[in-house]
Structure 1
Amino acid sequence: MTTTSPTPTRSSPAYAQRGSAYFDVLVAGMAVVIVLSNIGASKGVQFGPVVTDGGFFLFPLAYILGDVISEVYGFRAARRATLVGFAASALAVFSFWVIIALPGFTDDYGLAKQEALEVALGPVWQIVVASMAGFVAGQLSNAWVMSRMKARSQEKGLVARLMGSTGVGEAIDTILFCTIAATAIGITTLGQWASYVFFGFLWKTLVEFALVPLTRVVIGRLKQREPSYQAALLQS
């Protein structure tokens, strides 16, 4: 009588190593999206009763990239990507401050450009503080939830990880960001703030949910193309 040995199970989830061109591209993309979102967020936008900011269509992409990094490379890699985004935003704010402080032309055209720069880029520091407070807390929460869920389910349950982590991360992010950034974009009443928080969370969450099938495909292909991830899968 023959017996079949049980299939060995992994003691820890599989992750790829960070030393690849794919990881660099993902981190660079996240940093660019964060910087552009911060600039766009300095403009208040209103669609009827919906109050939002000019970066509303970009910011969900940062979380999608964060999901990909968290799932394929792990929590530490996601934390590093978040810090790179923070550094890029800080550099952008410092650059804007220097540009505005530099002496410009004193003719009418030069003065008009100076005023436009001050109005458009002057409040960005407050937006960046709001964005990074929310993004760091939200993105790290998002990555932590994904890593904890993956530790339990291994390669199964990717959709549940994507959706569950999104809800937690976006809630934390949106509340912090909207509270700190409100005055910078002209929000002065509690009703405007509540609308800003509710519709901001709803929009970003629905966008990420809608793009889950695409995110799943991207993650699947990236796992196949990362040799270190395939090697980690073979380890028991």
Structure 2
Amino acid sequence: MAELLWLAMDQRIGNNPIAMRFIALLICSTIISASGNDSQNLDPSFEFNYTSTEIVVGSDSVGSFNGTIHNISSNTITIAVVRRGNALPEGWTSSVCLGEFCYNESIDSVTSQLDPGDSTACGILAWTNGVGVGTVQLDLFDLQNMNEHIIVDLNIYAGSTVGIDINSVFPKQMVLYPAFPNPFNPVTTLRYNLPEDGMVNITIYDMMGRIVRTLENSKQAAGFKSIQWNATNDVGQTVSAGLYLYTIHSRDFSQTKKMILLK
């Protein structure tokens, strides 16, 4: 037995509303007969890889969780990411991130289409306010295969690490997180994890490959880092709206992501 449910989502990117989207969710309830003749599709169409679900940050800070969704099927699929739980202390907020974008804190459900063999980033950003502990639950599923769900429970610890093994939750590799907000106007924040001390270079380019701004070029201690870009170039001039690239280099690590500056 199946029921067709229309789910309305008034999405925002940053502080800018986009068109209302309606996603037809096929909610399937399978009745298994005594003879066991009814079959279910248990072949997963995607996988979600991540390191740890424990996020440790300082008070009045920003924590990040990041993983990668892989389409392991032979078909194009549409992945839905739903924030089912958002149990955070007063003054804390979280944002769902999918692909290059982190969405407005009020958005619980987002989707992304993946071709066979493709992958995309998925995670959250969490803003803390004072000491406390919070949890966020993400539900990932393929809209064409509603039997297969991946549930991820995230624990966020701010200002207190009693009982927490820092070495077990601190990422062991370099990670560049999506800019937030993105799109933005006029300021966005770039966040990254530096697993060990070393030189860090962060450079912003236009789509012609020209250097717009060198945000960082110094030796840094290991840890979770963030830096803001206020949409200006190296001489302090405001740049025009459009698509920009930001690249981070440290030791043998290099990664580039996109961000959009709005008018």
The structure with higher relative contact order (CA 8 Å, sep 6+) is 1
Structure having the higher strand fraction is 2
Whether TM exceeds 0.5 here: the answer is no
TM range (shorter): under 0.3
TM-score w.r.t. structure 1 length?
0.24
Structure having the higher helix fraction is 1
TM-score w.r.t. structure 2 length?
0.23
